[in-house]
Amino acid sequence: MSRNSVRRWSATFATLALAVTGLAAPAAPASAAPAPAAVACEVDFTSSIWTGGYVGNARIRNVGDIPWNSVLVEFTLPDNHQLTSIWNYNVQVFGQHVRAERAIGAPPVPPGGSIDLGFVVRYTGTALPPSNWRVNGVACSAPGRSPAVLVDPATRTVPEGSSASFTVRLSHPPTQSVQVQMTINGTGVWASPPMVITFSPTDWSTPKSYLLYSTQDADSFDDVAVLTLTVPGYRPATVTFTQVDDD
Ligand SMILES: [Ca+2]
Ligand SMILES: [Ca+2]
């Protein structure tokens, strides 16, 4: 059953994508060249501290628009702090500078994906977090400070044969008009309006509404679809739609 559902879904969405492209062409701004692909990262560091040591974990998120096929993480430990062990990474330590390379053969980290780096530190004096985080040579930012696609709400339930909407906006202004790309994964048969959402340097913070329609299906299964909204250079957002089947 679910295999059939997925196939129907794919066919439906392909048709919609064509419709969207057809309508978009006249309205697309001439200057809307895609932004160059870039590495960008965000680090959320947490630790569990005891006297003289801590276990640290860095959740490192890919907020750029290209996958990381290999990952080299670098950071700086404060003075009087020393790395004693690290999990799942090949590590080199130069004074306070730590280079941690992800094992060869680990799966790529896609845009929007994240990895964890866990390690143990011994210290004297006061425990302090590492700084100067970099991934593949690019400096990382703290969570919430990098550009992101913002949606509201992030989850919706949709009665079969009905629709549910959400709004989307950007956290930071783009340098030129950008188009929101949407991809969908899940089961069921869904439809969406043939419209393109663009944001310009002047209307980037204005929420724009979009909806997904759950078409009637013969099964009695509550289908789930995850819509991913992507803008190059911004952290992607997802909206999860759960069908309330009426059969
Ligand atoms: Ca049904
Ligand atoms: Ca269903």
Ligand 1 center to 166 CA (angstroms):
23
| Ligand nearest to the Cα of 188, by number | 2
Q: Which residues does 146 contact at the CB level (< 8 Å), separation at least 6?
A: 40, 42, 63, 235
CA of 212 from ligand 2 middle (Å) equals: 14
- Of all ligands present, the nearest one to the C-alpha of 221 is 2
CA distances from 203 to 55, 86, 130, 166, 172 (A): 44, 45, 38, 17, 11
pTM above 0.85, yes or no: no
Please give the Cα distance from 158 to 215 (Å, whole number).
10
Q: Give the sign of the dihedral formed by CA 240, CA 230, CA 201, CA 194.
A: negative
Higher pLDDT, 29 or 113: 113
Residue type, 237: A
Domain ranges in the chain?
2-36+146-242, 41-139
How many residues are there in the chain?
Answer: 247
DSSP code, position 68: B
β-pair partners for 240: 155, 226
Taking only the tens place, the pLDDT of each residue in 181-229 is: 999 999 999 999 888 999 998 898 889 999 999 999 999 999 999 999 9
Give the residue, 5 or 88, on which the prediction is more confident: 88
Q: Which residues contact 125 (CB under 8 A, 6 or more apart)?
A: 80
User: pLDDT tens across 216-235, in order?
Assistant: 999 999 999 999 999 998 88
CA of 169 to the centre of ligand 2 (A): 30
Please name the residues in contact with 197: beta carbons below 8 A apart, sequence gap of 6 or more: 168, 179, 180, 208, 210
Tell me how far the alpha carbon of residue 113 lies from the centroid of ligand 2, in angstroms.
29
pLDDT digits 0-9 by tens, 5-59: 333 433 344 333 322 222 222 233 334 444 446 788 888 888 999 999 999 999 9
Superfamily classification of domain 2-36+146-242: Immunoglobulins (2.60.40.10)
CATH class of residue range 41-139: mainly beta
Ligand 1 centroid, distance to 159 Cα (angstroms): 10
A 10 A CB-CB count for 147 gives 19
Ligand that lies nearest to the alpha carbon of residue 223, given by its number in the listed order:
2
Percent of the chain with pLDDT over 90: 58
Provide the token pair at 134: 């970099």
pLDDT at 13: 40
Neighbours of ion ligand 2 (CB under 5 A): 217, 219, 221, 223, 245
* 189 CB-contact burial (10 Å; exposed 0-12 / middle 13-18 / buried 19+): buried
pLDDT at 85 over 80: yes
Angle made by CA atoms 229, 233, 238, in degrees to the nearest 5? 20
Strands 149-152 and 208-214: unpaired
Q: Is 174 left (phi over 0), alpha (psi -120 to 50) or beta?
A: beta
Residue 37's pLDDT is 61
pLDDT level of residue 145 (50, 70, 90 thresholds): low
3-class SS of residue 237: strand
Tell me the mean pLDDT in the region 75-96: 95
pLDDT of residue 1: 41
Query: What is the DSSP secondary structure assignment for residue 19, as one 8-state letter?
Result: H
Q: Are strands 237-244 and 208-214 parallel, antiparallel or unpaired?
A: unpaired
Q: Which ligand does the CA of 2 lie closest to?
A: 2
Q: How far is it, in rounded angstroms, from Cα 246 to Cα 244?
A: 6
Whose CA is closest to 119, among 70, 48, 189? 48
Residue 188 Cα to ligand 1 midpoint, Å, equals: 9
